[in-house]
Amino acid sequence: MSKDFDVVSNYKSLLLNSPELSMPVAAIQSLVELIKHSNATTMSEFMLSINVASQMLKSSVRNSISLSAGCDLFLRFVTRNSQDVAEFEAWKATLIVRGQSFVEKADACRYKIAELGKAAENHKRFKVFVTESSQTHGGIRSAKVLRAAGIPTTIILDAAVGYVIDKVDMVLVGAEGVVENGGLINQIGSYQMAIVAKAANKPFYAVAESYKFVRLFPLNQYDLPTYNADTLSFQELNVDYDSKTNESGSVSSSAAPSSALSQTALHMKTSEDQASQGSNPLVDYTPPNYITLLFTDLGVLTPSGVSDELIKLYL
Amino acid sequence: MSKGTNDLVDILVAKLKRRQLVGSSAVAQATLKLLIVVISKNNWSKANDLLNLVRSVGQRLIEANPTELAIGNIVRRVLHVIREEFRDAEASSKSDDHSEFQTVPLTTSSSMYNLLSETGSDDKEYTHASHNLRSDIIQEVRDIRIELDTIYENIKNQATNHIHSNEIIMTIGRSRTVEEFLKMASSKRKFHVLVAETAPSYLGQQMALELSKAGIEATVIPDSAVFAVMSRVNKVILGTHAVLANGGLVAISGTHMMAAAAKHHSIPVVVCTGLYKLSPLYPHDEDSFNVVMNPDAVLGFEEGDLMEKVTVTNPYYDYVSPEFVNLFITNQGGHPPSYLYRLIVENYDPNDHTFDPLA
């Protein structure tokens, strides 16, 4: 096994260079790089090196569910093809070629799913409410992209989902991972949104590429591999709450909601926020009965169809 | 396409446009008959040629009557059969030359595994076309025909599993499948049937008449009484015009009301349907597959002065969402709505969602 090749740093640099690349695809690309640099001469040494590398990748990232899905898929593929090895070097070469074409296909998954929608391109008029996602500000970034595409977008507070739900026709979320029973693992707040959608009788759709299907079966929120002892723990903080200026205050119902939002955006750097970021979960689990349909590159699936796809691969 | 078959397609298209041919069963039979002729009487050698031929015929038929989902279902079944046969022929011819990465043939063309395998799963140009292939395909399509003919047999044989003595069954509209189902059960068990009259077509009244001719105790109730009586019903057995991919139904107007009343009282709702009614399409909204009929049946034309002030609509179908249905009894056995995705995967191909010509 090559000790020179650092799979984790390769993975991180891939993500840095192409921010559009998704985590599982970057992980598989790093593993393919590992194969290129591998000095293994026997099958078992080779398999071991890949296993170790994927473990290292998984433990290097705080939120590793989609990454695990990608690694497991690649491992599964390698295992499946390891029976027919006649000539080791030639097999390795073919594996590298396959890995590369996988990366291309996986990237194309996103566009395949986009084909299902293509709403703005087809000049359908619709509006979007995006939640702000206060810790990561993903909502603000999405709003920028959507507005650039000419879609009227409004940023709402994470807490305003219940307020807004009666105005919307459907809820659409992405995914970090899709679990065996068809449930969804996604950014924290998705479960809440799904419950509100169900209570208001609105359809809840999730969009996920098929390489995010993962062999987990969580029984509750705390069953996820991202859960550790620090999550939601009660910590003693040395921060003096009273000394902070009253910028946030209460959101005024009329004049300037946008300015209140931009002020909350400035709070990232305080130590209190950093502490709460550390002890709060990044993802949550939405059970399948809240999900109406999943849009994947394999087609539109009901949650019960996911396990079928997983079985086909792992059988 | 040969002139003879073109004429036959024109005839069927005209019948569908003029609504001379309506109803899932009749439409399915006619479409299948036509497709058998199209496949056998035309020249084709490559897979894509035959697939495009069938798709173009399918596209024309669907445009003639978009609400008859059975047309699309039958065309997709036939396309699936054609692809299967070509794949099998390809696989058996390839079995001689072993490549190192001989992949295990998977049940569908798209799967996560294909992300990592060598070839794309798009339609290939199968140059291998033997005589056997043509007759194999036609034989398989004829098997679908046989399946269509034996639908009522297979469904009604499950009747005694679901209906027990002294039960009160409720139904709506006039479904031949449900009629056969109940008649078969009545030969072994004694039960009562409540039939909602199904205004304004009053098909429920005809259903009650047929059932009583077969010796079943049938009672006609007005549609408005469905909720009131539901607490005393043991089961609701329904027929349907079509089943959508999410498990939702396109059924006669009034079915949604009955299903909602049943859900409220926790009464099981059972739908008897042949698999040819299962469509791989999803409902975008409530009225994706609905059709409106003559409003005269609702508010007569003789009410002249009222007609200018009032909008009268007479939708023929209802959309029933999948939460209301507990069981589908099909010619391939009983399945819950969550299992339908499997039946769709087994019988249809994801590339056949639309019938645009293949590249």
pLDDT, one tens digit per residue, over B40-72 is 888 888 888 889 999 999 999 999 998 899 999
Cα–Cα separations (whole angstroms), residue B197 to B193, B221, B225, B255, B261: 12, 6, 10, 12, 16
Is residue B248 within 8 A of residue B322, CB to CB? The reply is yes
User: In chain A, whose CA is at the least distance from the CA of B342?
Assistant: A305
A111/chain B closest Cα distance in angstroms: 14
Strands A204-207 and B235-238: unpaired
Q: Is B285 on the interface with A (CB under 8 A)?
A: no
Mean per-residue pLDDT of chain B: 87
Residues of A in contact with B112 (CB under 8 A): 73, 210-211, 213, 298, 309-310, 312-313
Least confident stretch, A4-8, A156-160, A298-302, B213-217: A4-8
Over residues A210-235, the mean pLDDT reads: 81
Share of chain A above pLDDT 70, in %: 81
Residues in a beta bridge with A129? A154
pLDDT at A236 (0 to 100): 62
User: In chain B, whose CA is at the least distance from the CA of A87?
Assistant: B100
Q: What is the DSSP letter of B163?
A: -
Q: Is B100 on the interface with A (CB under 8 A)?
A: yes
Q: Do domains B3-114+125-149 and B152-347 have the same CATH topology?
A: no
B337/chain A closest Cα distance in angstroms: 10
**Range with the largest mean pLDDT of A51-65, A96-110, B113-127, B184-198:** B184-198
Question: So what CATH class is B152-347?
Answer: alpha beta
Higher-confidence residue of B154 and B91: namely B154
The pLDDT confidence band at residue B87, using thresholds 50, 70 and 90, is confident
Q: Between chains, do A105 and B115 touch, taking CB under 8 Å as contact?
A: yes
**Range with the largest mean pLDDT of A36-50, A86-100, B210-224, B287-301:** B210-224
DSSP string, B17-51: HTTSS-SHHHHHHHHHHHHHHHHHHS---SHHHHH
The pLDDT confidence band at residue B254, using thresholds 50, 70 and 90, is very high
Higher-confidence residue of B180 and B99: namely B180
Q: Between chains, do A211 and B115 touch, taking CB under 8 Å as contact?
A: yes
pLDDT at B112 (0 to 100): 60
Over residues A163-170, the mean pLDDT reads: 95
> Which residue type is seen at A187?
Q
Residue of A81, A109, A313 with shortest CB distance to B101: A81
Over residues B213-233, the mean pLDDT reads: 96
Q: Is A84 on the interface with B (CB under 8 A)?
A: yes
Q: Between chains, do A308 and B345 touch, taking CB under 8 Å as contact?
A: yes
pLDDT exceeds 90 at position B224: yes
Least confident stretch, A102-106, A225-229, B259-263: A225-229
A237-286 confidence digits (pLDDT tens): 555 555 444 433 333 333 333 443 444 444 444 556 665 666 788 889 99
User: In chain B, whose CA is at the least distance from the CA of A212?
Assistant: B112
Over residues B75-102, the mean pLDDT reads: 75
Length of chain B: 359
pLDDT at B251 (0 to 100): 95
B336/chain A closest Cα distance in angstroms: 11
pLDDT at A265 (0 to 100): 41
Residue of B113, B115, B341 with shortest CB distance to A302: B341
Q: Between chains, do B112 and A312 touch, taking CB under 8 Å as contact?
A: yes
Phi and psi angles of residue B193, each rounded to the nearest 5 degrees, phi first: -125, 130
Chosen CATH of B3-114+125-149 out of 3.40.50.1370, 1.10.760.10, 1.25.60.10, 1.20.120.420: 1.20.120.420
- A177 token code pair: 């991972």
Query: Tokens 């998977």 appear where?
Result: B106
B318/chain A closest Cα distance in angstroms: 18
Q: Is A105 on the interface with B (CB under 8 A)?
A: yes
Q: Is the peptide bond before B200 cis (omega within 30 degrees of 0)?
A: yes
Higher-confidence residue of B233 and B97: namely B233
pLDDT at B196 (0 to 100): 96
DSSP string, chain A: --SS--HHHHHHHHHHH-TTS-HHHHHHHHHHHHHHH----SHHHHHHHHHHHHHHHHHHSSS-HHHHHHHHHHHHHHHHHGGG-SSHHHHHHHHHHHHHHHHHHHHHHHHHHHHHH-TTTTT----EEEE--TTT-HHHHHHHHHHHTT--EEEE-GGGHHHHGGG-S-EEE--SEE-TTS-EEEETTHHHHHHHHHHTT--EEEE--GGGB-----SSGGGSTT--TTTT--------GGGS-SSS----SSS-HHHHHHHHHGGGGSHHHHHHHHHS-SEEEE-GGG--EEEETTEEE-THHHHHHHHHHH-
Q: Is A91 on the interface with B (CB under 8 A)?
A: yes
Q: Between chains, do B102 and A84 touch, taking CB under 8 Å as contact?
A: yes
Residue of B111, B116, B245 with shortest CB distance to A98: B116
| Complex ipTM tops 0.90 | no
Q: Between chains, do A302 and B246 touch, taking CB under 8 Å as contact?
A: yes
> Which residue type is seen at B188?
K
Q: Between chains, do A312 and B106 touch, taking CB under 8 Å as contact?
A: yes
Q: Is B247 on the interface with A (CB under 8 A)?
A: yes
Name the B residues in 253-282 with CB < 8 Å from any A CB. 282
pLDDT at B186 (0 to 100): 94
CA distance A185 to A109: 19
CA distance A100 to A115: 23
pLDDT at B111 (0 to 100): 60
User: In chain B, whose CA is at the least distance from the CA of A291?
Assistant: B246
pLDDT at A192 (0 to 100): 95
The pLDDT confidence band at residue B102, using thresholds 50, 70 and 90, is very low
Q: Is A77 on the interface with B (CB under 8 A)?
A: yes
Q: Between chains, do A73 and B282 touch, taking CB under 8 Å as contact?
A: no
- A218 token code pair: 């969580």
From B348, B357, B341, select the one nearest B74 (Cα to Cα).
Answer: B348
Q: Between chains, do B101 and A74 touch, taking CB under 8 Å as contact?
A: no
Higher-confidence residue of A27 and A239: namely A27
Strands A204-207 and A171-173: parallel
Q: Is B115 on the interface with A (CB under 8 A)?
A: yes
Residues of B in contact with A310 (CB under 8 A): 112
Q: How many CB atoms lie within 10 A of CB A61?
A: 18
pLDDT exceeds 60 at position A1: no
Phi and psi angles of residue A245, each rounded to the nearest 5 degrees, phi first: -70, 160
pLDDT at A99 (0 to 100): 78
B312-323 confidence digits (pLDDT tens): 999 999 999 999
Least confident stretch, A22-31, A76-85, A301-310, B159-168: A76-85
Q: What are the residue boundaries of the structural domains of chain B, listed by start?
A: 3-114+125-149, 152-347
The pLDDT confidence band at residue B128, using thresholds 50, 70 and 90, is low
pLDDT at A263 (0 to 100): 42
Is residue B340 within 8 A of residue B278, CB to CB? The reply is yes
Is residue B326 within 8 A of residue B266, CB to CB? The reply is no
Is residue B215 within 8 A of residue B186, CB to CB? The reply is yes
Residues of B in contact with A102 (CB under 8 A): 115-116
Name the B residues in 315-344 with CB < 8 Å from any A CB. 338-342
Q: Is B106 on the interface with A (CB under 8 A)?
A: yes
Q: Between chains, do A106 and B341 touch, taking CB under 8 Å as contact?
A: no
